[in-house]
Amino acid sequence: MLITKQTVAEQIAAYLHHEITLPQLVDWAENVMLDGEFGNEDAPVLRDVMAHLGVADVKAFGLTWEDCESLLNRLGYTAHVEVMAG
């Protein structure tokens, strides 16, 4: 499976929207690092982002909002927060 910047951004967005859990995101990242294929041009950035996601369940690393924002920026995306009355 070819992994693109868009694929990774969609997974981070799913996590931020609470569609997947942190353990699911980490499992996905670990599996991609083992079995995924990265396009040559984006491979360095994708490997670095995936490595960060792959250790996000370790307390010393974690995954903050700022981390997600930074990772999305490296992938060419921006994150926006919308607050609505419940």
Is residue 85 assigned to a domain? no
- The 10s digit of each residue's pLDDT in 9-22 is 999 999 999 999 99
pLDDT reading at 41 higher than 90? no
| Number of compact structural domains in the chain | 1
Confidence tier at 86 by pLDDT (50, 70, 90): confident
Query: Does a structural domain hold residue 83?
Result: no
Q: Which residue has the tokens 């996000």?
A: 56
Residue 20 is assigned to a structural domain of this protein: yes
10 found inside a domain? yes
State pLDDT tens for residues 42-76: 999 999 999 999 999 888 888 999 999 999 999 99
Domain annotation covers residue 82: no
Inside any domain, residue 34: yes
Domain limits at 61? 2-74
Q: For residues 62 and 20, give the distance between their C-alpha atoms in angstroms, rounded to a whole number.
A: 16
pTM over 0.75: yes
CA atoms within 13 A on the CB side of 12: 31
